[in-house]
């Protein structure tokens, strides 16, 4: 049985449906992420798990028990808020002691548990500091220690790293992975940052317009997006759409305007659909100055219209003679060269049938 | 350099007029009062000449000796402090829920409610006190109701007017807005996320109030307490109009010394004592407020 079972949950605000019949199950000890753009309903769903909001329809079960009648203070889940929400009039120790006091943990036992929680988040020796004397990263650690100190069955994290700078964010991501492994508590993590979701999670639910578009492991979400939205939202992706021209021997040919026929391998036999999209990641495209010597499955010419030099990689936007644009990515790792091509250069692009991923519709 | 000098001159130009105003109308009268407290009263009131006929400077501490040796004055002081403290406490108990209500109401009603709080200031202070004479008068509905209920239990009638009760009721009425406004201003800034976090961490509504909301509102509470207690300590119009003979407060005493007894030096001593008492109490309140909320300035 799953630890948390969300069954057909719907939440409306007036005419707006924030959550539209969502069902999903979260296992014990799992790092689960709700990923989506702002307004997709991920925070509403998190608030309903915490108890700050109630579903209009559907049920939320924790350990098999319906949470409907339980206010937030009686649910064995804890939230880490985006704004940290540390109590400004209490020290670090006072903040971490608060949930223990609420749970009536005897005073003698508190000290050791506070120390253990602060050790879990690597924040030793800050006990007497007040929140305004801490950096953003330290505040976040206190918020996590405070949420973990009572050993909840589940930790809910609402964009906890959004307010931190990129370098610190990466550092805390690694710490969060290790912390989750250490404490073994299920984490439900809400973010709009797809790289964060891919880096942290065991499983990701990609949400859009109050629905779950895809629920899968990170590598499958990235490699095998099930909808155009998922392909587009997670990383960069060329979405090449058109009518299906042929469908035989596990290879589908999509006739893309301005590009010509694009061949893509399909795993299982797909229902004969008239329209299709090939999701093609920029890094899967081979880009070169001369025509490839072998006979690639897909091949086209074009000129570099724009380029974005990112340091480690360069993103080239290539315009085909037919007027469509394809994004290709090249690592700048060889030969000490900064870039391989300039704007206006003629280039050849090729990719095998298994580089793309076919999406119906 | 020139820029910095120019900026300093600008600062003086801006802050100069209010500084001069305070010097002329606050510091100078205060100094005159301090000087007066060491002089002798003239035969028919006012002040005796500073330099007497023999050409000797006439300065003494007689009035201070009188203040510290005659216990009646200290008793009036204690009584005034008691009335002011009761007023402050009652105002706090009434104002806190009201300020909470205003802070939690939607923006549409908030301005209206705030307007209602300050509405009494639109009419004259004395007129409002006289209005209480009518409300508390022996033939008014309130007195009849109170005495009617008392009669049910076999108790005799009591007058509401010209009593400590009347003074307290009016003191609370007059000072209530000064308690509501600072507490409202504080509560209005509170972050809902803190209460959500407290609830998430297991705190009941009662615990959320006492552990989070109330401690964080203490700066507002202390500001309100100072704004109520200090003026209430020195008030004379309310006990004059609504009080009985027992309700002579320090403000009445000072007024008597200047206007009736015309012992200006002793009146000055009483005024100075009141100012010092108010400053000391305000200092204590500020110190407690800083200690209580030292960390809330995030």
pLDDT tens track for A5-51: 999 999 999 999 999 999 999 999 999 999 999 989 999 999 999 99
| Weakest mean pLDDT among A24-28, A88-92, B8-12, B193-197 | B8-12
Task: List the beta strands (DSSP E) in chain B.
Answer: none
Residue A99 confidence class, pLDDT cut points 50, 70, 90: very high
* Same domain flag for A283 and A163: no
Q: Is the pLDDT of residue B236 over 50?
A: yes
Is pLDDT at A273 greater than 80 in this prediction? no
CB-CB under 8 Å, A79 with B202: no
Asked whether residue A161 falls in the same domain as residue A110, the answer is yes
Q: Are residues A98 and A205 both part of a single domain?
A: yes
Q: How confident is the model at residue A338 (pLDDT cuts 50, 70, 90)?
A: low
pLDDT category, A270, cuts 50, 70, 90? Answer: low
Mutate to test the interface with B, among A72, A80, A105, A128 (most CBs of B within 10 A): A72
pLDDT at A280 over 50: yes
Question: What is the pLDDT confidence band of residue B154, given thresholds at 50, 70 and 90?
Answer: confident
- Same domain? For A175 and A309 the reply is no
Residue B295 binned pLDDT confidence (cut-offs 50, 70, 90): very low
B202 touching A (Cβ < 8 Å):
yes
Show residues of chain B in contact with A103, CB under 8 Å: 202
Strands (E), A293-352: 298-309, 313-319, 325-331, 346-351
Structure tokens at A96: 């971490």
Higher-confidence residue of A342 and A114: namely A114
Please state, in angstroms and rounded to a whole number, the distance separating the CA atoms of residues A26 and B108.
Answer: 43
In whole angstroms, what is the distance from residue B168 CA to residue B179 CA?
15
Instruction: Say which range, A258-267, B14-23, B60-69, has the weakest mean pLDDT.
Output: A258-267
Taking a C-beta distance cutoff of 8 angstroms, is the pair A89, B293 a contact? yes
Are A95 and A193 within one domain?
yes
B199 and A71 within 8 Å at the Cβ level: the answer is: yes
Instruction: State which residue of chain B sits closest to A94, comparing Cα positions.
Output: B211
Residue B284 located in a structural domain: yes
Per-residue confidence (pLDDT) for residue A161, from 0 to 100: 92
Q: Nearest residue of A to residue B212 by CA position?
A: A87
Write down which residue in A194, A213, A229 finishes a domain: A229
Residues of A in contact with B194 (CB under 8 A): 85, 87-88
Mean local confidence (pLDDT), A122-136: 93
Q: Alpha carbon of A30 to those of A148, A184, A224: distances in Å?
A: 15, 8, 22
Q: Does B60 touch chain A (CB under 8 A)?
A: no
Among candidate residues A151, A86, A158, the one with its CA nearest the CA of residue A117:
A151
Instruction: Based on the fold, state whether residues A116 and A248 are members of the same structural domain.
Output: no
pLDDT-derived band at A335, boundaries 50, 70, 90: low
- On the question of pLDDT at B291 being above 80, the answer is no
Q: pLDDT by residue (tens digit) across B55-96? A: 888 889 999 999 999 988 889 999 999 999 999 999 999 999
In a domain, B10, yes or no: no
CB atoms A130 and B199 under 8 Å = no
B189 in contact with A at a CB cutoff of 8 Å?
no
A56 Cβ contact partners less than 8 Å away, ≥ 6 residues apart: A10, A11, A12
Residue-wise pLDDT tens digits, B178-202: 999 999 999 999 999 999 999 999 9
Q: Provide the whole-model pTM.
A: 0.83
Cβ-in-10-Å burial (0-12, 13-18, 19+) of A343 comes to exposed
Q: Is B122 contained in some domain?
A: yes
CATH number of the domain that residue A85 is part of: 3.40.50.300
Task: Find the DSSP H helices in chain A.
Answer: 42-50, 92-102, 107-120, 136-148, 166-183, 194-200, 218-223, 228-233
We report the CATH number of the domain holding residue B75 as: 1.10.3720.10
Pairing of strands A31-35, A77-80: unpaired
Domain contains B35:
no
Region B126-134: mean pLDDT is 91
Degrees to nearest 5, angle at CA B113 with B108 and B117: 155
**Mean pLDDT taken over chain A:** 91
Statement: residue A181 has pLDDT above 70: yes
Is A108 in the same domain as A77?
yes
Same domain, A222 and A263: no
What was the pLDDT predicted at B298?
37
Residue A323 has pLDDT above 80, yes or no: yes
> Residue B155's domain spans which residues?
71-292
Q: What share of chain A has pLDDT > 70, as a percent?
A: 97
For residue B289, is pLDDT > 90?
A: no
According to the model, what pLDDT value does residue B297 have? 42
Count of the separate structural domains present in chain A: 2
**Residues in chain B within 8 Å Cβ distance of A102:** 201-203, 207
Question: CB within 8 A of A61, min separation 6: which ones?
Answer: A4, A5, A6, A7, A67
pLDDT above 90: residue A60 = yes
Q: Mean pLDDT throughout A121-146?
A: 94
Q: How far apart (Å, rounded) are the C-alpha atoms in residues B128 and A239?
A: 77
Q: Is the pLDDT of residue A279 over 90?
A: yes
Which residues does chain A have within 8 Å of residue B196's beta carbon, measured at their own beta carbons? 52, 72, 79, 81, 85
The number of C-beta contacts closer than 8 angstroms across A and B is 73
pLDDT attached to residue A313: 87
Nearest to B204 by CA among A81, A99, A113: A99
The pLDDT of residue A49: 96
What is the average per-residue pLDDT within A332-344? 73
Is there a contact between A73 and B298 if contact means CB atoms under 8 Å apart? no
Expressed as residue numbers, the domain containing A46 is 4-229
pLDDT at residue B296 in the model = 44
ipTM field = 0.86
Distances (CA, A) of B236 to A13, A245, B247: 57, 98, 10
Total structural domains in chain B? 1
């Amino acid at each position: 049985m799953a630890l948390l079972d969300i069954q057909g949950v719907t939440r409306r605000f007036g005419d707006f449906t924030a959550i539209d019949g969502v069902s999903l199950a979260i296992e014990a000890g799992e790092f689960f992420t709700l990923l989506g753009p702002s307004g997709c309903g991920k925070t509403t769903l998190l608030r309903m798990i915490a108890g700050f909001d109630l579903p209009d329809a559907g049920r939320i079960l924790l350990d098999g028990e319906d949470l409907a009648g339980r206010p937030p203070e009686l649910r064995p889940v804890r939230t880490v808020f985006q704004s940290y929400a540390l109590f400004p009039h209490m020290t670090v120790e006072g903040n971490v002691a608060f949930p223990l006091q609420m749970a009536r943990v005897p005073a003698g036992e508190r000290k050791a548990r506070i120390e253990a929680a602060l050790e879990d988040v690597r924040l030793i020796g800050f006990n007497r500091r007040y929140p305004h004397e801490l950096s953003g990263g330290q505040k976040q650690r206190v918020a996590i220690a405070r949420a973990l100190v009572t050993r909840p069955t589940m930790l809910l994290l609402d964009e906890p790293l959004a307010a931190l700078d990129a370098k610190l964010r990466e550092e805390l991501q690694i710490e969060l992975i290790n912390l989750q492994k250490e404490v073994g508590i299920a984490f439900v993590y809400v973010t709009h940052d797809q790289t964060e979701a891919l880096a942290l999670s065991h499983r990701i639910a990609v949400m859009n317009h109050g629905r779950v578009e895809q629920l899968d492991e990170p590598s499958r979400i990235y490699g095998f997006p099930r909808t155009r939205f998922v392909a587009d939202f997670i990383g960069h992706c060329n979405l090449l759409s058109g009518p299906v021209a042929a469908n035989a021997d596990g290879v589908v040919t999509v006739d893309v305007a301005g590009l010509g026929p694009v061949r893509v391998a399909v795993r299982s036999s797909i229902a004969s659909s008239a329209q299709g999209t090939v999701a093609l990641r920029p890094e899967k495209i081979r880009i070169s100055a001369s025509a490839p010597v072998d006979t690639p499955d897909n091949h086209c010419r074009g000129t570099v219209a724009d380029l974005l030099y990112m340091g480690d990689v360069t993103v080239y936007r290539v315009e085909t003679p037919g007027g469509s644009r394809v994004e290709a990515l090249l690592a700048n790792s060889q030969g000490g060269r900064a870039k391989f091509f300039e704007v206006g250069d003629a280039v050849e692009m090729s990719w095998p049938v298994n580089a793309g991923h076919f999406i119906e519709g | 350099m020139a820029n910095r000098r120019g900026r300093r001159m600008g600062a003086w130009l801006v802050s100069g007029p209010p500084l001069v105003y305070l010097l002329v109308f606050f510091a100078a009268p205060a100094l005159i009062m301090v000087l007066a407290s060491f002089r002798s009263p003239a035969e028919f009131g006012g002040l005796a000449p500073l330099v007497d006929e023999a050409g000797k400077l006439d300065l003494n501490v007689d009035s201070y000796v009188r203040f510290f040796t005659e216990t009646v004055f200290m008793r009036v002081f204690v009584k005034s402090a008691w009335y002011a403290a009761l007023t402050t406490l009652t105002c706090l108990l009434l104002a806190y829920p009201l300020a909470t209500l205003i802070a939690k109401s939607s923006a549409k009603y908030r301005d209206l409610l705030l307007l209602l709080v300050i509405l009494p200031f639109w009419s004259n202070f004395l007129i409002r006190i006289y209005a209480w004479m009518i409300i508390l008068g022996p033939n008014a509905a309130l007195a009849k109701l109170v005495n009617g209920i008392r009669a049910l239990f076999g108790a005799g009638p009591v007058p509401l007017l010209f009593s400590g009760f009347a003074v307290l009721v009016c003191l609370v009425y007059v000072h209530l807005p000064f308690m509501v406004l600072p507490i409202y201003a504080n509560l209005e800034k509170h972050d809902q996320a803190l209460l959500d976090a407290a609830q998430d961490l297991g705190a009941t509504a009662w615990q959320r109030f006492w552990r989070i909301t109330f401690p964080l509102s203490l700066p507002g509470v202390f500001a309100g307490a100072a704004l109520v207690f200090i003026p209430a300590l020195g008030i004379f119009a309310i006990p004059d109009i609504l009080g009985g003979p027992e309700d002579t407060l320090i403000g009445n005493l000072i007024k008597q010394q200047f206007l009736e007894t015309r012992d200006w030096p002793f009146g000055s001593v009483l005024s100075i004592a009141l100012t010092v008492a108010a400053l000391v109490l305000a200092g204590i309140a500020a110190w407690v407020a800083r200690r209580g909320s030292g960390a809330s300035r995030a």
